A and B are shown apart, each in its own frame.
Chain A
């Protein structure tokens, strides 16, 4: 088989058994792999009514067919499950080297079922599949777990080739905010997944292998990769901005357009002096680190000068700077960097945690809760209080238990649900939807809650890469949102990262896919598969009880105009765009996919 290895590992933790299954040709043709295949398995096997933290839920690691073949940015492994935070499906993107190593170990997909009695580590090393008792790892941070596991291996050479995906104390404590960490790098969009892994008593998955992946037409494939690298090098965004600062280059741009949120989306004018790219260069020693076969290398490593975090630093991305920084009123990069670091060590998701902290801070500001009541000095702009809160939340110590259940639960328990800025329980990524209309519509309709990860509309709305669109206009936005949602679903299913779309067009990837897999897809075919995945996710969520009433933004965005900054007076017009979006999707007015739509997509049996 080309691209795919063609095998899937199914591990039942309750019985301590595993079996290797062959992956079916038609399934791969219709869903490609990665996110698509993960969603399909989840849809078929996981009950949308069962508690996400029960043994009935399944955890699926799924690498796309392009992962590990040397395709440009072919590195992402998707983790699909039913989220403990939102109750919808959850799909995290794990970058780094785990996904590729999983393919070299001979598996496109690992399905984890049931629940182990005591903590275990699933180890897949050179075709030996074992469940290793992990009591001594329980309670340890993610980097300690990784180091300790590598030390336990027979020789330093196999340790160098082993990659781990692990949870921290947050996941063990079943916090809905918990995320998965691999290669010391937080997965993106993983809120709610760490807890599922923790509920299965699975501390980590370790992979290593030496199988070969086949490429259909090697010569052509190498040529296509050469062209793509040259093309990425000719575009300033992917040859300068991203390699130099990572996604943090967006901070300045978003500030200018009034998109960078401050104080739980109450304002957009924050001081750039302390958090812009210049400050970033001043605060950290930037060193690039690349995911598997990525010529851009946007991840930035550093040495944080702190005795506890020596050599562990990962420079905050745009997401971390927005969520843990400006949105909490904090504009000290060293605090933001440490908070991000702490999230990675404890296995917390920065977006979900940042959203929770911002909600708590506004509750305190509005005098609905008091700092005495929460027992943590949590106020906008108080960086030290934020760090204390992070430490307490992840270990479930002290009075932080109330915070640990997420921003939505906290706001509802204090009868102020309107102060939680999120959709379907997931806090908003740091893009103010009032000044970025398309992203607002995506936030409202996204199957995973409001995360920008599943539609990079800012590529056209903000950066104007393919089209010159006005971020505050709504004309054409529903079409744009649908296009990007489908594109992202297709890219995720192939196992490709979406950041190169800053420099390449989606159609540039088509020859890469065809020469690698030996298929004959057109760009439309791939987008159609993306649409199929999106609709299947929607069907799962509908069964789990989500409908049109959940496709809304918090009142703040549709009723309160932005109070200051360059986006002043703007308001989200998401409700005007929604009917057109449903129409373009082939859904009825209630947001349900119509029979004809499902039939065209080949989903009529579901």
Chain B
């Protein structure tokens, strides 16, 4: 099954993926708030997060992540389009967003525009 592999060490935080997603899903529109991928910034590092459905399990199994000695709240990297945070809920309509790999066969527009290799389409 194809997946999008995220390597956060390569992400430069340019947010080109957000616009690629928005242009692909909403005709002729550039708006990061309508994208199904968002780049989170935490402690000077960037973490692309791809949206998924909101399930209770995500919230009940929450724990603190430690990277390079910094502690992170898991909510920051959570992909759920949950009511607690405004990301992945389309501002104008209130519809929760979910990544669809840009159709069948998958050719995600975010991967195409990501120039540093932080996003990669892999088979596993």
Contact = CB atoms under 8 A, between A and B. Distances in A.
Given A297-B12, A311-B43, A222 B31 contact: no
Interface string B27-58: 11111111000001101100000000000000
Q: How large is the interface on B (under 10, 10 to 19, 20 to 34, 35 or more residues)?
A: 20 to 34
Interface string A265-303: 000000000000000000000001111111111000100
Given A222-B24, A297-B12, A70 B19 contact: yes
A216 B44 CA distance: 35
B5 interface: no
A472 B85 CA distance: 59
A111 interface: no
Given A212-B31, A288-B116, A294 B14 contact: yes
Looking at A158, A222, A226, the one whose CB has the most chain B CB atoms below 10 A away is A222
Q: How large is the interface on A (under 10, 10 to 19, 20 to 34, 35 or more residues)?
A: 35 or more
Interface in A209-240: 210-218, 221-222, 225-226, 229, 232-233
Interface string A51-77: 000000000000000001110000000
Contacts of B44: 301, 311
Contacts of A288: 12, 116
Contacts of B43: 311
A564 to B, nearest CB: 40
Contacts of A225: 113
B29 A233 contact: no
Contact of B30 (A210, A212, A226, A311): A212
Given A212-B30, A290-B14, A70 B23 contact: yes
Contacts of A2: 28
Looking at A70, A222, A294, the one whose CB has the most chain B CB atoms below 10 A away is A70
A158 B86 CA distance: 8
Contacts of B16: 70, 290, 293-295
B95 interface: no
B68 to A, nearest CB: 10
Nearest to B87: A157
Contacts, number: 96
Contacts of B32: 104
A2 B92 CA distance: 19
Interface in B83-124: 85-87, 91-92, 109, 112-113, 115-116
Interface in A300-317: 301, 311
Contact of A222 (B12, B26, B33, B109): B109
A212 B29 contact: yes
Given A104-B31, A215-B28, A311-B44, A221 B23 contact: yes
Given A222-B23, A229-B115, A69 B85 contact: no
Contacts of A215: 23, 28-30
Looking at B22, B28, B29, B33, the one whose CB has the most chain A CB atoms below 10 A away is B28
A160 interface: yes
Given A222-B24, A294-B16, A295-B14, A69 B116 contact: no
A214 B115 CA distance: 24
Nearest to A230: B115
Contacts of B33: 104, 210
Nearest to B46: A289
Looking at B20, B109, B115, the one whose CB has the most chain A CB atoms below 10 A away is B115
Given A212-B31, A213-B29, A294-B12, 12 more contacts: A69-B19, A70-B16, A70-B113, A100-B15, A213-B31, A214-B28, A218-B23, A218-B28, A222-B24, A229-B115, A294-B14, A295-B113
12 contacts: A100-B15, A158-B86, A212-B22, A212-B30, A212-B92, A214-B30, A221-B23, A290-B15, A291-B14, A293-B15, A294-B14, A295-B116
A54 B98 CA distance: 52
Contact of A297 (B20, B31, B92, B116): B116
A152 to B, nearest CB: 18
A573 interface: no
A210 B19 contact: no
Nearest to A313: B44
A157 B85 contact: yes
10 interchain residue pairs of minimum CB distance:
A290-B14, A70-B19, A290-B12, A295-B115, A297-B12, A212-B31, A218-B28, A210-B33, A210-B91, A213-B30
A570 interface: no
Interface string A572-584: 0000000000000
B109 A297 contact: no
A6 to B, nearest CB: 15
A442 interface: no
A451 interface: no
Contacts of A222: 20, 23-24, 109
A97 interface: yes
A353 B70 CA distance: 36
A216 B19 contact: no
A327 to B, nearest CB: 30
B28 A217 contact: yes
Contact of B40 (A69, A160, A233): A160
Interface in A55-109: 68-70, 97, 100, 104
B115 A233 contact: yes
A97 B15 contact: yes
